[in-house]
Amino acid sequence: MIVSSILIVISIYLLISLTILPMQYRFLVTLKEEEAKSKANGENQGEMYEKMNPGKSLLHQNAQGNPLFLLANIIASIIYRIKHS
Spatial distance between the Cα atoms of 47 and 1, rounded to a whole number of angstroms: 51
Q: How confident is the model at residue 64 (pLDDT cuts 50, 70, 90)?
A: confident
Q: Which helix (H) or strand (E) holds 50?
A: helix 45-51
Tell me the residue range of the domain where 54 lies.
2-83
How many domains does the chain divide into? 1
Q: What is the pLDDT of residues 15-55, one digit of tens each?
A: 999 999 999 999 999 989 988 888 888 888 778 778 888 88
* Number of other CB atoms surrounding residue 28 within 10 Å: 19
Percent of the chain with pLDDT over 70: 100
Instruction: Output the average pLDDT for the chain.
Output: 89
